[in-house]
Structure 1
Amino acid sequence: MRGLDSQFWSTQGSNVTLAVIAIVAFVAVVALIMFGADLVRGRSRDKVQLVVLVTPVLALLAVGLIYPAFDTIWISFTESVREPDPETGINTVTTTFAGLSNYVYAFTDPTMARTILNTLLWMIFVPLLSTGIGLAYAVFIDRAKGEKVLKSLVFMPMAISMVGASVIWGSIMYNYNQTGDQTGMLNALLVLVGLEPVSFLTVQPWNTFFLILILVWSQTGFAMVIISAAIKGVPPEMNEAASLDGANAWERFWSITIPSIRGTLVVVVTTITIATLKVYDIVRTLTQGRNSTDVVANKMFVLSFVEQRQELGAALAVILFAFVIPVVIYNVRSLNKVKETR
């Protein structure tokens, strides 16, 4: 505060004033447009109001989503060339079309290829483990004593940020000391039973799976709560009828429970998969991508903002988007099948 002079506060005051004026002007324009649409009478009233309501949303989507997406795709097909100016000798940067060279590099360079492979591993294991453990937990504690408490214990990690979860696992569970007493819980247990401590975050390739466990720990609670709610929606009469027909618990689970909650399972898997593809915090906090643990989101950040190689970063962003497309298609097709069965 002492180092801030009057010019700083004057500049900040001007910025705040401009921001307030812009917000007031925006609200006034929207109010006038809405008021004008409300004055329209006749058959065109509904159409005019629809256009007035939808146009701002489409404009915001175009400015905030569609244009950046196409701009990123274009940047991924270019490269920056630094050449000295023939007259001044000063290096100038020109952008030229590079075709698929950035994508070829992304899939052929060993480091980049390892990053993409790690992302695929995260994409496979996190949804499967989170959903599988959440499903098993929801089934076993359904209508059990202390159900609410048991659910709360598993759901609690959802309230912790990814950075917080990373710090917890890094300092409490995975901590490794080359010399001295082991303070990490897992290594302390290993030493207690006479085994050598393990550097969980550096030993390859298992360090990637140890990072995956952190996100599984965080997402299992989400899967468990959603699946548990779906299981409670299964009519008990169906299980009772199956029991009278001689079906055991395992047969009732596969023949009644799973088909009844299939739509919920698809939504849970899809949601966790998309969240997994965006994982950045865990890797950035614990390893910064070292020891072959990098993922696309972190590598994209490093290339774009640290190494100033925006073209390669844009290519990775497009690859990440391409990973999402099959997930969305599977989600839509699976939900359509569920609707057809009903």
Structure 2
Amino acid sequence: MSGLDAQFWAAQGQNLLMGAIAIVVFITVIMLIMYGADLVKGRGRDKLQLVVLISPVLILLGIGLVYPALDTFWISFNSITDAPDPDTGIYTTTMQFIGLENYRFAFTDPSTVRTVLNTFVWMILVPILSTGIGLGYAVFIDRAKGEKVLKSLVFMPMAISLVGASVIWGNIMYDYNQVGQQTGMLNALKVFFGGEPYNFLADDPWNTFWLIVILVWIQVGFAMVILSAAIKGVPIELNEAASLDGASAWQRFWSITIPSIRSTIVVVLTTITIMALKVYDIVRTVTQGRDDTDVVANRMYVLSFVEGREALGAALAVILFVFVIPVVIYNVRSLNKVKENH
């Protein structure tokens, strides 16, 4: 604190004052608009009020989401170069349209192709494992003794950030030493029981699976809580009637429980799939994409902000967006079918 002079604090005070003024002006403008809309009489009053309430949200979405998305899409079809001006020698940025060249590179460059394939593996394994384990756990501990405690233990990893979980698994669970004592928990246990230490994060392709375990460990709690709540909503009378008819527990599970919670399973699968598609923190923290563990989100970051190849990074961003679209469409269609059936 003693090293900060009066000029620094004056600048901070000015920034806070400008921020406060901006907030007050924004609130005042919104209140005036809403007040003006409330004064309108007649048949168009409801429509005008709806437009007034929705317009700020649409404007913010346009500025913060739609425009950047369109700009990224356009950049992906161009080549960006920094070259000195022949007269002044000042470096200037130039953009040249090159069509699908960036996409051709993305699907022909071996390292980038491997990155896309790794992302597909994450997209398939993480939702299946997380939802399957979460569903099984929810079924087996449903109405069991100590249910709340057991659920809390599984849900607890959800409170940890992805970076924190990556540090736990990378430095505590998977750590490997070529010489000397093993400090990683898993390798220490292997050595204790007479086995040889194993480099979990360097053995391709299994290193990708060990990274996937981290996200599964976090998402199982989410799947368990949501599916457990859905299972409790299944009418008990249906299971009792099926039991009287001689149906086994397995038959009741597949014929009653699963159809009853189908829409919830779809939502959980879709949510975790999107989470797996945009995973970045785990790979960046644990391996930085080394040893063929890279994924599209991390590769996109490296290309755009480390190597300065913004156009290639934009192409990968568009590819990632295309991956998400079918998942969202399937989710919407499945939910619509469930509503129609009801």
Same fold (TM over 0.5): yes
The amino acid that maps onto 1:311 is A
CA distance 1:89–1:61, shift in 2 (3 Å): closer
> Are positions 1:41 and 2:41 aligned together?
yes
Match of 1:148 in 2: 148
Superposition pairs for residues 274-293 of structure 1, below 5 Å?
Answer: 274-293=274-293
CA distance in 2: counterparts of 1:78 and 1:305, whole angstroms: 17
Q: CA deviation at 1:340?
A: 2.2
Look up the match of 1:311: 311
SS of 1:79's partner is: strand
Measure how far apart 1:37 and its partner are.
Answer: 1.1
Q: In the alignment, which residue of structure 1 is the partner of 2:101?
A: 101
Q: Bigger CA drift: 18-27 or 218-227? A: 18-27
Match of 1:74 in 2: 74
Shift of 1:92: 3.6
How far apart are residue 231 of structure 1 and its match? 0.6
Of residues 73-82 and 250-259 in structure 1, the stretch that sits farther from structure 2 once superposed is 73-82
Give the Cα separation in 2 of the matches to 1:150 and 1:87: 72
Q: CA deviation at 1:13?
A: 2.4
Instruction: Give how far 1:10 is off.
Output: 2.7
Deviations 1:270-328 (A, max 9, x none): 11111111211111111111111111111111111111111111111111111110100
The worse-fitting range, judged by mean Cα deviation, of 81-90 and 209-218 is: 81-90
SS in 2 for 1:339: helix
Shift of 1:11: 2.5
Aligned residue for 1:226?
Answer: 226
Matched, 1:200 2:200: yes
The CA deviation string for residues 146-178 of structure 1, in whole angstroms up to 9 with x for no partner, is: 111111111111111111111111122111111
Q: What is the CA distance between 1:15 and its match in structure 2?
A: 2.0
Three-state SS of the structure 2 residue aligned to 1:199 is: coil
The 2-side partners of 1:72 and 1:127 are apart by 28
| AA in 2 matched with 1:284 | R
SS of the residue corresponding to residue 247 of structure 1 reads coil
| CA–CA separation in structure 2 for the residues paired with 1:163 and 1:89 | 43
- Corresponding position of 1:51: 51
Q: Name 2:23's counterpart in structure 1.
A: 23
1:307 and 1:219 mapped to 2: Cα distance? 32
AA in 2 matched with 1:77: F
Q: Flag the 1:54–1:167 CA change in 2: closer, same or farther, 3 A.
A: same
Write the distance in 2 (CA, Å) between the matches of 1:42 and 1:89.
Answer: 65
- Unaligned 5+ runs, structure 1: none
Equivalent residue for 2:136?
136
Match of 2:13 in 1: 13
Q: How many residues align?
A: 342
Identity of aligned residues (%): 74
Counterpart Cα distance in 2 of 1:205 and 1:178: 20
Partner SS, residue 80 of structure 1: strand
Q: Structure 1's 90 and 34: CA in aligned 2 closer, same or farther, altered over 3 A?
A: closer
Root-mean-square deviation (Å): 1.3
CA displacement at 1:14 relative to structure 2:
2.2
Note the C-alpha offset of 1:12: 2.4
Deviates more, 1:272-281 or 1:64-73: 272-281
Query: Which is worse superposed, 19-28 or 64-73?
Result: 19-28
Query: Following the alignment from structure 2 to structure 1, what is the Cα–Cα distance between the partners of residues 76 and 338?
Result: 38
Deviations 1:94-130 (A, max 9, x none): 1100111111111111111111111111110000000
Query: 1:4 Cα shift?
Result: 3.1
Secondary structure, counterpart of 1:183 in structure 2: coil
TM-score computed with the length of structure 1 as normaliser: 0.97
**Partner of 1:171 in structure 2?**
171
2 CA distance for matches of 1:89 and 1:188? Answer: 59
Distance 1:31 1:187, change over 3 A: same
After superposition, residues 249-264 of structure 1 pair within 5 angstroms as 249-264=249-264
The range that moved more, 56-65 or 77-86, is 77-86
Residue in structure 2 matched with residue 247 of structure 1 by the alignment: 247
Measured in 2, the distance between the counterparts of 1:41 and 1:89 equals 63
| Paired residue secondary structure (2:308) | coil
- Paired with 1:93 and 1:152, the residues of 2 have a C-alpha distance of 53
Superposed CA deviations along residues 179-204 of structure 1, whole A, max 9, x for unmatched, are 11112111112112221100111111
Q: Any unmatched runs of 5+ in structure 2?
A: none
